[in-house]
């Protein structure tokens, strides 16, 4: 049931073609937002655009490679042209390269730069382009995506872990910087969410034992993209109006065990 918590708002979601981003795009649109679907995969972006429009809601697919400043700059210019405002920026796009990421002593510098290019540079680029638009729209919400890897030590993925720890630090810095400008900056740190990325980050790892993992997870199950989208909706809405600089570990309790 829709409560129209985002009525009249314009929301930009990166990586909105699949997984958590797709779930958030559907939910934000259902709650009344006009949604800019920022996605590198054109077929996935166009598909979710059609799905949202078919429900009578407003959405537009804007091709974007968040690792390239020119692509981000042009994409946000298109949001301004189409909607004239921006109230919510959900920096959801991330990559996990299980076959390339590794401990620092084994990590190829090209892989390090590729992962940082999307997960950290992309966050910077989108905030650089999007936050001035939110300021002109008289404030709003920035939602960043970290991970349990940004909170606890996770082996064999040092580049990914570095980006997710940096995301938390940057969230806090921006919260202090832009809070006086009526922009709240918060962060979600998911873990064990059943998305296409889980195949790359866990299930394809020959050392990963799914049954043991689930037995040691406090809630004893995987999370769903929709559950994280609900957290993002709370952070996007006025219901979280006094939350700024928060890191919400949406992980079923993994980081407390």
pLDDT bucket at 197, cuts 50 / 70 / 90: confident
The pLDDT tens digits of the residues spanning 139-156 come to 999 999 999 999 999 999
Give the model's pLDDT for residue 205. Answer: 64
Name the band, by pLDDT with cuts 50, 70 and 90, for residue 196: confident
**Contact predicate 160/149, CB 8 Å:** yes
- Judge whether residue 127 has pLDDT over 70: yes
What is the structure's pLDDT at 211?
Answer: 82
Six-digit token string for 84:
């004239």
Averaged pLDDT, 45-67: 98
- Domains defined along the chain, listed by start: 10-195+224-250 (3.40.50.720)
- Return the residue matching tokens 């929301």: 11
Maximum CA extent, the chain: 52
Residues 6 or more apart in contact with residue 53 via CB below 8 angstroms: 59
pLDDT at 116 over 90: yes
pLDDT at position 199 is 60
Residues of the chain with pLDDT > 70: what percent? 96
* Predicted confidence (pLDDT) per residue in 201-249, tens digit: 555 667 767 888 788 889 998 999 999 999 999 999 999 999 999 999 9
> What does the block give as tokens for 227?
């559950």
Q: Which of residues 42 and 204 earns the better pLDDT score?
A: 42
Q: Where are the beta strands (DSSP E) in the chain?
A: 10-14, 34-39, 59-63, 88-91, 140-145, 183-190, 247-250
Mean pLDDT value across residues 63-81 = 98
Tokens 């043991």 correspond to 212
DSSP alpha helix (H) spans, 84-121: 109-116
- 125 φ/ψ angles, rounded to the nearest 5 degrees: -60, -45
- Residue 165 backbone phi and psi in degrees, to 5: -70, -40
In the 8-state DSSP scheme, what is residue 254?
G
Confidence (pLDDT) at 100: 95
Query: Catalytic amino acids?
Result: 160
More confident residue, 3 or 235: 235
Q: How many CB atoms lie within 10 A of CB 103?
A: 11
Write down the pTM of the prediction: 0.95
């Amino acid at each position: 049931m829709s409560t129209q918590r985002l009525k009249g708002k314009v929301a930009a979601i990166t990586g909105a073609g699949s997984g958590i981003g797709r779930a958030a795009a559907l939910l934000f649109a259902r709650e009344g937002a006009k949604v800019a679907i920022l996605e590198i995969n054109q077929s996935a972006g166009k598909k979710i655009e059609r799905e949202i429009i078919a429900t009578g809601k407003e959405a537009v697919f804007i091709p974007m490679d968040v690792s390239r400043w020119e692509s981000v700059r042009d994409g946000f210019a298109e949001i301004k042209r189409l909607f004239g405002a921006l109230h919510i920026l959900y920096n959801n796009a991330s990559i996990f390269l299980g076959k390339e990421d590794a401990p620092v002593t084994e990590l190829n510098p090209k892989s390090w730069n590729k992962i940082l290019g999307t997960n950290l540079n992309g966050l910077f680029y989108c905030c650089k382009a999007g936050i001035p638009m939110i300021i002109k729209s008289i404030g709003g919400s920035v939602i960043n995506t970290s991970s349990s890897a940004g909170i606890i030590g996770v082996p064999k993925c040092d580049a990914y872990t570095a980006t997710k720890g940096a995301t938390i630090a940057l969230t806090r810095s921006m919260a202090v910087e832009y809070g006086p400008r009526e922009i709240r900056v918060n962060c979600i740190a998911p873990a064990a969410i059943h998305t296409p990325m889980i195949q790359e980050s866990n299930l394809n790892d020959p050392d990963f034992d799914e049954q043991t993992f689930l037995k040691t997870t406090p809630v004893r199950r995987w999370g769903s993209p929709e559950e994280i989208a609900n957290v993002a909706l709370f952070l996007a809405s006025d219901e979280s109006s006094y939350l700024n600089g928060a890191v919400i570990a949406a992980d079923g309790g993994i980081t407390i065990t």
